[in-house]
């Protein structure tokens, strides 16, 4: 194998795939990146057996071939080279790296031992705006369950229909849901659970931005589904992952359909008051009180702790309906508020024993629910 590519292109490709190659003691080849040059394409490939990633890099192939080298060493080595043309060539068990007046040889392994990345059928697909997908995932992923005691809750539910994609996550104490538009050549509805770790890699890919030449397909992301795999394609990068098997809870039934009190309030003001109250909440309970007194058009945010003291803040708000109050976990409340994209939020409450619903004042497909702390 002998290839040439610009340092900038190689560096970007290695940064994208290098994250997936981990510290695997049992299977050391998984710590490597596979460099594959064939069919006119230079591809960088990494996998941890759960997730596989392929990034195509612009360049010239003089001799086709494939070889694997340690992900960290090749990434660090290329990162330190000047932004000029880089030559990579396999000589025996080494990868020779040359650029300007820099020369290096990296010990490697044969590509034959590298695991195959699963193929996903590409006849049927869904597609969406990449920026919208990135925002939607960011707005829900924080609500996944971090432990794997309930495996299905450690992922994000994706529900594809003919014209929309709904993503939802819950850890059973709070729930986040976002709907966006999709296009498809596949009319059948699909429900799948994608591991949160896969989506963190996808966010990394979508945040890396397009190649230097912005192409139309860099603005779009495509989803291809099989029985137990999902393939995401964006620009010159492909990410394939196993799906989580199991039944996602029917969370729709806990979304309140009515409310007794509706509050419209400035998001930043509420965040500031909740942060202040958090200083005086009970350790381990993280409780803050939200009171909505009748006819006063205000929200009273308060907390009291035997150890640190107490705090009370009165905020102006538009309050419609009955006098009400609720006690919630301040961390959950802050995470929800920080993911609302508008400056005014709408809160809907039935009473202190039922979930509190939060969404932007102007509906944009996002909602967030917190279970109350029962007194």
CATH numbers and ranges of domains, the chain? 2-113 (3.10.150.10), 126-251 (3.10.150.10), 255-370 (3.10.150.10)
pLDDT at 186: 82
Regions of the chain where pLDDT drops below 50: 212-214
pLDDT at 369: 98
pLDDT at 275: 98
Rounded Cα gap, residues 242 and 248, in angstroms? 16
39: left (phi over 0), alpha (psi -120 to 50) or beta: left
pLDDT at 24: 80
Q: How far is CA 202 from CA 114, 160, 233, 309, in A?
A: 22, 18, 10, 44
pLDDT at 20: 94
Rounded Cα gap, residues 200 and 359, in angstroms? 24
Q: 217: burial class by Cβ within 10 Å (0-12, 13-18, 19+)? A: middle
pLDDT at 25: 80
Whether this model's pTM surpasses 0.85: yes
206 near 134, Cβ under 8 Å? yes
18 in helix, strand or coil? Answer: helix
């Amino acid at each position: 194998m002998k290839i040439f590519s610009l340092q900038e292109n190689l560096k970007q490709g290695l940064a994208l795939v290098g994250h997936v190659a981990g510290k695997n003691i049992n299977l050391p080849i998984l710590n490597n990146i596979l460099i594959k040059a064939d069919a006119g394409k230079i591809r960088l490939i990494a996998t941890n057996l759960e997730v596989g990633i392929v990034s195509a890099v612009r360049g010239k192939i003089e001799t086709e071939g494939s070889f694997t080298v340690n992900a960290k060493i090749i990434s660090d080595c290329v990162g330190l080279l000047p932004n000029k043309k880089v030559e990579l060539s396999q000589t025996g068990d080494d990868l020779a790296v040359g650029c300007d007046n820099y020369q290096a040889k990296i010990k490697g392994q044969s590509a034959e031992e590298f695991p195959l990345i699963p193929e996903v059928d590409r006849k049927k697909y869904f597609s969406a705006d990449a920026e919208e997908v990135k925002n939607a995932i960011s707005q829900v992923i924080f609500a996944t369950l971090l432990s794997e005691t309930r495996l299905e809750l450690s992922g994000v539910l994706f529900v594809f229909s003919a014209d929309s994609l709904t993503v939802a996550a819950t850890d059973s104490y709070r729930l986040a849901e976002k709907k966006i538009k999709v296009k498809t050549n596949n009319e059948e509805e699909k429900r799948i659970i994608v591991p949160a770790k896969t989506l963190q890699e996808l966010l990394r890919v979508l945040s890396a931005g397009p190649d230097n030449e912005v192409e139309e397909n860099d603005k779009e992301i495509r989803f291809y589904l099989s029985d137990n795999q999902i393939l995401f394609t964006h620009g010159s990068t492909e990410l394939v992952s196993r799906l989580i098997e199991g039944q996602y809870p029917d969370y729709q039934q806990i979304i309140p359909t009515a409310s007794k009190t509706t509050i419209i309030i400035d998001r930043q003001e509420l965040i500031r008051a909740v942060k202040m109250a958090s200083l005086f909440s009970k350790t381990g309970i993280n409780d803050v009180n939200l009171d909505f007194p009748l006819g006063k058009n205000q929200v009273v945010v308060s907390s009291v702790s035997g150890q640190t003291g107490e705090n009370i803040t009165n905020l102006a708000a538009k309050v419609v309906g009955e006098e009400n109050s609720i006690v919630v976990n301040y961390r959950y409340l802050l995470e929800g508020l920080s993911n609302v994209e508008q400056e005014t939020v709408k809160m809907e409450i039935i009473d202190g024993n039922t979930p509190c619903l939060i969404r932007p004042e102007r509906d944009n497909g996002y909602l967030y629910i917190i279970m109350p702390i029962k007194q």
